[in-house]
Structure 1
Amino acid sequence: MNENQTARRTSEDTDALIALLDLADDIPGAAGLRARSYELLRLAPDGAVVDVGCGSGRAVAEMAELGARAVGVDPDERMITVAGGRWPALDFRVADAYDLPFADGEVHGYRAEKVYHILDDAARAVGEARRVLAPGGRIVLIGQDWDTFVIDAGDAALTRTIVHARADLVTAPRVVRRSRNLLLDAGFADVTVEARTWIFTDATMVPVLAELAARARSAGAISAAQAETWLAEQHERGRRGQLFLALPLFVTAATRR
């Protein structure tokens, strides 16, 4: 996230984002995905690792429990305050992905989850990651492709319009498709990509679908009536236990030469 985006975020926005991150951290499969990222980082006892865009700090706490010297950075001061309040013994700092508070080669692991889609220059962030990583250090990037929400709905064309309209409001909605090549272009080795798909079939994710429809409507891609009809169907599917939402996530990992 760049500094202008951070400045535009209000305290209420941050509180809402924290609530959303807490929800995402606790959905089935989230803990396993985080654990897999730690394996790919090859955490060493007392090895320095940075979690970029750390949010409220869950991953930093888990990596510290595994013995790493974990540092969380986020450009949002309130986010860092919340993380520090939850885990006061850990190291949280205000910084963004383009200017990390580390010397060249100071860290052995770099992790960023659901961060690169809000960056306006992913290649610059990867370059900064390479700078702070020691030779042999590991980088792990986790994110979703915002064009690939898979939703069962009666009107497939309208659903495609909603998904694509929401994606177009994201700074870099398809950056995960580029992550492997970004790392290769920056000189990283042993680049791998894994996919995880989260599937939801009940009403718990209706608020996510409501947000998709609302943002598509506010962008002028669909009418209020279309949004209302589409969301009413999803509410009914959720009530019957017949909702279907699949979110593919991609985990890209590599080694700093």
Structure 2
Amino acid sequence: MNDFFNPKMAAQQERMARTEDMMRQRSKHMRVLSPKSGEKILELGSGNGIFARELAERVRPGGEVIGLDPSEAILEMARHIYPQGEFIQGDAQDLPFEDRSFDAVAAAQVFCFLKDVDQALAETYRVLKPQGRVVILDTDWDTLVWRTRQPELMARVMDAYKAVYANAYLPRTLPHRLSQAGFSNIKVKSFVVLNRGLGEETYARQSIGFATSIMEGSPEFSKEEQTCWLEDQEQLERNGDVFFSLNRYILSGRK
């Protein structure tokens, strides 16, 4: 395990975190969360640990940030990138914390993977202090506009892409779910990830990598179809004809 997340991979994660799209996303998430010095904050799905590291800077002095993730491999990466952080293994649907433990709970692209969103929201509510805040960033994948000259193949690729998520359209139901869980003062903000090229620093390029890995692991796509799809995107890049637009939503509530 310790050999899996090496300095090279850590550097790659750091480069990705500094891309314009990812910096903008974290900035918007941070602005809504509005962490304050002395607060205790839980990040669900802490991933590479970079957002937890930035949060920790905001809650000093006297504050604390705990990152939680179900994957020990992912936690190992977070500990490699942010050795001073506190990261523990756990399930957002069964949080290993006492009632009223945190001032705020943050999550980005996490709830869409959960089988029981309502249970996770109930657990989030339970571990928050009175007047505590929850801030969830997630995506409705029906909002994706992705230029292609292979529409039938792209439709199949996107069906496979969306199937990775337990709920690929979560933001449209989250306001009501938050209310049902007991949260008040529920607010929704949105922003657009818009790329007109496929540079290494774009979310579109990351999405191509994700889609390619899905196709490679699926018997539904032949090698020829994988090549055709990728060549179409690269040709659009050469022609200056890339268009990738995706809505992201930030939902917040208070206990």
Give the alignment's TM-score, normalised by structure 1: 0.83
How far residue 48 of structure 1 moved from its aligned partner, in angstroms, is 0.6
How far residue 24 of structure 1 moved from its aligned partner, in angstroms, is 4.8
1:26 pairs with 2:18: yes
Equivalent pairs, count: 247
Equivalent of residue 148 in structure 1, options 139, 143, 160:
143
Q: Do the aligned residues in 2 keep the contact of 1:54 with 1:73 (CA within 8 Å)?
A: yes
Q: Do the aligned residues in 1 keep the contact of 2:10 with 2:80 (CA within 8 Å)?
A: no
How far residue 115 of structure 1 moved from its aligned partner, in angstroms, is 0.8
How far residue 21 of structure 1 moved from its aligned partner, in angstroms, is 5.9
CA distance in structure 2 between the aligned counterparts of 1:96 and 1:42, rounded to whole angstroms: 25
- What SS is found at the alignment partner of 1:111? strand
Please list, as runs of the form range in 1=range in 2, the aligned pairs for 1:129-148 lying within 5 A after superposition.
129-148=124-143
Runs of at least 5 residues in structure 1 that lack an aligned partner in the other structure? 1-10
Partner amino acid, structure 1, of 2:211: L
Partner amino acid, structure 2, of 1:144: T
- What SS is found at the alignment partner of 1:202? coil
CA distance in structure 2 between the aligned counterparts of 1:42 and 1:213, rounded to whole angstroms: 36
- What SS is found at the alignment partner of 1:29? helix
Q: Do the aligned residues in 2 keep the contact of 1:214 with 1:227 (CA within 8 Å)?
A: no
1:84 pairs with 2:79: yes
1:228 pairs with 2:227: yes
CA distance in structure 2 between the aligned counterparts of 1:184 and 1:152, rounded to whole angstroms: 37
CA distance in structure 2 between the aligned counterparts of 1:90 and 1:214, rounded to whole angstroms: 30
- What SS is found at the alignment partner of 2:30? helix
Deviates more, 1:239-248 or 1:71-80: 239-248
- What SS is found at the alignment partner of 2:35? coil
CA distance in structure 2 between the aligned counterparts of 1:193 and 1:62, rounded to whole angstroms: 23
- What SS is found at the alignment partner of 2:143? coil
Q: Do the aligned residues in 2 keep the contact of 1:196 with 1:249 (CA within 8 Å)?
A: yes
How far residue 93 of structure 1 moved from its aligned partner, in angstroms, is 1.4
4+ runs deviating over 4 angstroms:
17-24, 216-224
**Aligned residue number for residue 242 of structure 1:** 241
Q: Do the aligned residues in 2 keep the contact of 1:194 with 1:250 (CA within 8 Å)?
A: yes
**Aligned residue number for residue 207 of structure 2:** 208
Identity of aligned residues (%): 23
Q: Do the aligned residues in 2 keep the contact of 1:105 with 1:132 (CA within 8 Å)?
A: yes
Give the alignment's TM-score, normalised by structure 2: 0.83
1:43 pairs with 2:35: yes
Q: Do the aligned residues in 2 keep the contact of 1:203 with 1:239 (CA within 8 Å)?
A: no
**Aligned residue number for residue 116 of structure 1:** 111
- What SS is found at the alignment partner of 1:65? helix
How far residue 208 of structure 1 moved from its aligned partner, in angstroms, is 2.7
How far residue 54 of structure 1 moved from its aligned partner, in angstroms, is 0.4
Partner amino acid, structure 2, of 1:245: F
Q: Do the aligned residues in 1 keep the contact of 2:178 with 2:253 (CA within 8 Å)?
A: yes
Deviations 1:62-86 (A, max 9, x none): 1111124211111222322332233
CA distance in structure 1 between the aligned counterparts of 2:15 and 2:115, rounded to whole angstroms: 26
CA distance in structure 1 between the aligned counterparts of 2:205 and 2:25, rounded to whole angstroms: 23
How far residue 161 of structure 1 moved from its aligned partner, in angstroms, is 3.1
